[in-house]
Structures are given as C-alpha cells and as structure tokens.
Chains A and B, each alone.
Chain A
C-alpha cells in the first residue's frame, strides 16, 4: 500500500535537496523567463526591413518613383545602390543584401507607352522562408505601383476600363495581424516544461545510485512507488511554477491573448508535466547514471519537442511518414491543445481527443516508472 506519510517524507527530503542547491532552483525558474523574453521580444519569424540592393539602369523619374514606392514599404529597406550587375551580385554574395531589385534601361519608355514594364527581383534563396516572404512583399509593392499606373492610363485613354472581375478579401482568423509571438509562445511553454521537467527528474534516482545514498534509502521501510511519487512531487511543483511564470509573462508582457479557459490550460499542463517528469524518471531508473540518463531524456524530449511537434515547423508541411511519427510525440497534442485554447478560445468539447491522449501518455509513463523501480541493489 502507498502510505501518504512515507510519500511526504520522501517529498520533504527531495525538497530539501532542491532548496539547498539554490543555484539549480534559480536556474530552473530563470531559464523559462529568459526563453520567453527572447521569444517575446527578440525572436520573430516575421520579416521586416529586408536589406535590399538596387540597380537602377533606367535612371528616370519613373524608375525613381517606383523605387521610392518600394522603399516606403515597411518590409524593404534600401541599403545600397549598385552601379553595375557585378556590384549587385557581390552584395548578394557577401550577404550584405538579401534582396536585389533591377530596373532595366527601357523601363520609363514602356511605362509611358502603356506597355507592360518589367522589373527583376532576385532574393538570396539560402533562407527560403525570408526569401519567399521578401519576394512577396516586393511583388505586392510593385503591383500597387502598377495599379496606380493603370489608373493614370485610363485617364490618358490608353486603357479602356478599370473594373476587376473579383473583389477578394484575404482574412486570417484567430491571429489577424499574423503575429509570430501568438504562434510561438503557447508552444514555447510546452518546450520549457519538457526540457526542465525531463532534465531535472532524469537526475534524481541516478544521483542516489551514483553517490551511494540509494543503499540508505533501500534500508528504510519506504516502498518503491512511494519513492517514485515522493521524488516527482517537488519537481512537479517547480514545473507548475514555470508554467505560471510563462503564462503570466506571455499575457502581461507580450500580449498573447488567452481566449479560452486558463484553468483548462493549467489542468492540462499538470497532466502533461506528470508525463514529461515520468519520462526523465524512467531514464533515471533504467540507467542509474546521471550523464546517460540526461542524454537519453534530452534525446527523447528536447529535439522531438522542438522539431516534431509543430512548435515552429508546421506538421502539415512534412512528408507523410514523419507526420505519422509525430503522433508519438506527446508535445504535439499539448501544443495543439494550447493553441486551441489560447488563440481559438475552444474548450474541452473540441480538444477532448488531445486531452485524452495526454492523460493516457501521463498514466502510461508514470506507471512504467513505478513498475520499473526496484528496491534492490543489483
């Protein structure tokens, strides 16, 4: 039978370990703050002020008008004016510019004659994401200028009509300004929890084995499951503190809305945390070696959570076999649940499959740790 008294004794002992090692405790609470500050403030996938190099071979009022239109866009900043194609190429090669705009010699003549004028836009494709966005921005800025030219042409009688066939509106629901903070921060909370939880718990049991104090524990009447539960409790509390800090910072400092029920977020975080802690505990019990346990815990938590959960890289863009693999990454369910509750404001009626799977994951991991732990010397 599991006796609460003995669990409490183990938890108290483990708490003392944590409190005495004040540096670890401070780090465990500070790392989430640092990560959130970085992501809320410094890291963004949004592309602003793309450094751009310009080669104006036309050198006419028309070409300068187009260029000032491009420079006026918030997304593009002119850094350099190249005198030749060689200079333009050098600017891209050396990474001084990510985007190059070339206006050919006949540009003004085409504009004035009512023909289609061509410009060339080259992006440094090494960063495919920035390149795709930058080309899009340059294209739409040029289109806007083109629309103004079209109006002038109608006035001059060079074109018959203006009306479009379709009047379309593009909308983004849940995140109308497409802020990347709103996308990243709910996922980041999951990453923080997994890393801190799995790392801390992967050390606990192994440390006792390495230092030889496990023998003392074995000689007490405490039972295996009581040790496992007692050791998990302090780290669960630290993890929940981390979640609280992360949610508070996200809400108050970085304006990430919580449209759904915050209690639901906390509840699910508690379940997810238990699962993540149990992963580390399993590694710790199996290896009895802190270095190996932490490496194993990292391998099964940090990298998959970073890359296979939809945290930054959308799952739907991955090849099918990998999408299948992602189903065994528990953070996948937690992150999609967090985004649902945070941004879409949905409740358990929508996210119950994710909630159920998380619960199953936590129960499975916890039981595996409980059954694996043996109070025996060999």
Chain B
C-alpha cells in the first residue's frame, strides 16, 4: 500500500513540478501576489485630495482651509475658480471632495450669525466617502469650537464647555490599520486559488486526456488514488502558507500573539475540506472547462461570504446561515483570533469543530463519488 502510494506520489509531483512555469505559479506567485496586494487592501483613508472654492478669501476662510490642510486626512490639491470648474473636478474624479466657502463667510462670523459652509464629497465610493465626511465634520466642528471660544473671550463671557465628551478608542488595533484585518483573508484567498483549482483539475485532466484508463488498470486502490491526488497539493498549500506567513509577519508586522501550532491546526482542517471539495468537483466534471467554472461557482461566494471584506453581521439572516457552510469563514476567525487577539482553543474550539465537521462531510461525499467515477 505504502509503496504503491509512493509511486503514485512520485508521478503526481513530477507532473505538477515538471514545467518550470508551473513551479513559478506554485511558489513565487503567492508570495509576490501577497506582497503587492497587501499594500492594496486597505480602507484606511489617508490624504484625500480636496479642492477649495474660497469665494470669501478672508483671514477666517483661510484659517478654515489651513485647518483642513493641517489635518492628516486631507491634502488640498486644487483651487477651482467657480462652480463650473468645481463640478468638472468632481465629474473627472480628480478630487475626493470640495470645500465650498461662500462670499461673506467671515462677515457672518464677525456678525455673530451662523456662517453657511458647504462640503461636497464624491459619493461614488460610498465607503471612503462616509469616512471622509466624518473626518471633515470633525475638522469643521473643531473650527467651530475655536471660533466660539474666541467670541466668548471677546465678549468677556465664559465659553460653555461641550455637554458630552466621547472618549473613543479601538482595541486590538490601536491605529485602526485595516491591513492587519484583511491580511488573513488575503492569505486564505491566495491559498484557495492555488489549491482548490489545481485539485479540481487533477482528476478531470486525466479523464480528458484519456490517461485515467491507464491508471485504472494499475493495482492502485481508490484510497491510494485519492491520497495521491491530494497530498501533493496539500503540501504545496502548506509551503505557500508558510511562505505567506513569513511575509505577513516580517514584512507587514502582522503580530502572531497566539500559538503558531493552532494556526497550522486550522490550516490542516481547512485544506482537508477544500481539497476534498476540489476532488468532488473534479469527479463530477467531464472537462477541465466544466471543472474550472464549477470551481468559480464555489470559490467566489466562498471568498465573498467569508467575512473577509464584507462583515457577516451585515448580511440578511438567510445568507448568514449559508456562511456556516463556508470553511474560509472559520479559518479567518481562527487566524484573526490567534494572530491579532492572541486567543486560544478555549474561545476558538467551535471554529475548529465546524471545520472538522465540514471536512469530514465533504471528504465522505468526494470519496463516494470518486469510487463511482472509477467503477
């Protein structure tokens, strides 16, 4: 048994690694992708380009503009001359927003009336825009407080302190860097694209080319075949995961506060269910094209419903139930928990249990289908 498995493995490794381009795809690509994409996935809003239409042009208006410039969230890049030019800037998407200060701004402030002011953002990117609106609101209300305090000082009265002060902070990730949150999900995505697709194509490829018949006449048992087809990709998944773990830890300072062994336990259970899913897809497909499209039918919702980019809490109840079938959902919770929060099995055991159950069920289905295909 072991010897036959060894021969089978030798063949599979040879087949997978023979082509130097395939070696690139397997080992260099994940690291390069992770490296580039890790910089890309961020919802941190920095340096939003802002245009200023200052039709007042007085010390007060310039003070407000300086307040925006001083905030690390904005960068003033354009000074349109009129509303038409302002609209054009927004239409072209050259700026994220426009600060529109009408004429008479300072006069109103000096006259102790409420000076009108407008801030327009490009709402196309709804997420960035709502964060930008929050930052802009903060800058303006600070300006407001300053003006009120100055006014009170001039009048010789005491400026009323704000009634409520909110002291807010974020735990586990003080400066709200979104990269740390997204990196585990990105690792899972890259891992999935490699392992799932390759296993799914492994068996169907033999079918399409006709070599499956040659395998069928060998004394190989179904279990040996299954192991022979999955072990190579499991090992590539392990290697890729380890390489990526090094990249995120050393290059992107992603902490590993908990135990590394727990991470790998999660990886094993995860690969258990995804590789058997790949095998299952492979056995129900007749051509590589079918297998590939079926993989995508499974892969895209799996990534999107995993809570990687879109919080599961925001999904409708029905979809939230579906996410329980998504192995990536559990691995992401495990990775975030172990790496960012440093928690262990006492909190995470349901995730491991769910992965194990999912893996067992898919493996059972795959093995059953697999025997039928060969028969």
A contact residues vs B (CB 8 Å cutoff): 21, 23-24, 27-28, 30-31, 34-35, 38-39, 41-51, 66, 92-95, 98, 111, 115-133, 135-136, 138-139, 142-143, 145-147, 149-150, 153, 159-161, 163-176, 178-180, 182-183, 195, 199-200, 203, 207, 210-211, 287, 289-292, 294-296, 298-299, 302-303, 307-308, 310, 312-314, 316-319, 321-322, 325-326, 336, 339-340, 343-344, 346, 350
Contact check: which of A23, A66, A296, A312 meets B290 at CB < 8 Å?
A23
Nearest B residue to A325, CB-CB: B36
| Interface check B169, CB cutoff 8 A | yes
Chain B: which residue is nearest A150 at the CB level?
A: B163
Interface centre among A24, A30, A175, A291 (most CB of B within 10 A): A291
Seen from chain B, the residues whose Cβ lies within 8 Å of a Cβ on chain A are 19, 21-22, 25, 29, 33, 36-37, 39-49, 90-93, 96, 109, 112-131, 133-134, 136-137, 140, 143-144, 147-148, 151-152, 157-158, 160-174, 176-178, 180-181, 189-190, 193-194, 197-198, 201, 205, 208-209, 286-290, 292-294, 296-297, 300-301, 304-305, 309-311, 313-316, 319, 333, 336-337, 340-341, 343, 347
Decide yes or no: A119 and B166 within 8 Å by CB, A28-B293, A128-B44 being known contacts.
yes
> What is the interface of chain A mostly: helix, strand, loop, or mixed?
helix
C-alpha spacing A38/B312, complex, angstroms: 12
Q: A168 touches which one: B117, B287, B341 (CB < 8 A)?
A: B117
20 example contacts (A-B, Cβ-Cβ < 8 A) are as follows A27-B290, A34-B300, A94-B347, A111-B163, A118-B167, A124-B170, A125-B171, A125-B174, A126-B172, A132-B134, A163-B112, A165-B144, A171-B120, A172-B126, A172-B133, A183-B127, A299-B29, A313-B42, A314-B43, A317-B128
Pick the contact of A24 from B36, B96, B287 — CB < 8 Å? Answer: B287
- The distance in angstroms between the C-alpha atoms of A343 and B49, with both chains bound, is 20
Known contacts A115-B161, A146-B163, A183-B126; 12 further A-B pairs (Cβ under 8 A): A44-B314, A47-B311, A111-B163, A142-B166, A150-B162, A159-B160, A165-B114, A167-B116, A170-B136, A171-B121, A176-B123, A291-B288
Is A93 in contact with B167, judged by CB distance below 8 angstroms?
Answer: no
Contact: A166 with B143, CB < 8 Å?
A: yes
A317 touches B109 (CB 8 A): no
- In the complex, what residues of B have CB within 8 A of residue A150's CB? 160, 162-163
Return the contact of B193 from the options A119, A129, A135, A303 (Cβ within 8 A): A303
Specify which of B109, B144, B289 is in contact with A203 (CB 8 Å cutoff): B289
The number of residue pairs between A and B whose CB atoms lie closer than 8 Å in the complex comes to 368
Nearest Cβ in chain B — how far from A335, in angstroms? Answer: 10
Task: Find out whether the CB atom of B173 lies under 8 angstroms from the CB atom of A167.
Answer: no
- Residues on A with C-beta less than 8 A from B115 are 165-167
Whole-angstrom distance between the alpha carbons of A38 and B297 in the complex? 12
Q: Which of these, A41, A127, A165, A298, contacts B197 with CB under 8 Å?
A: A298
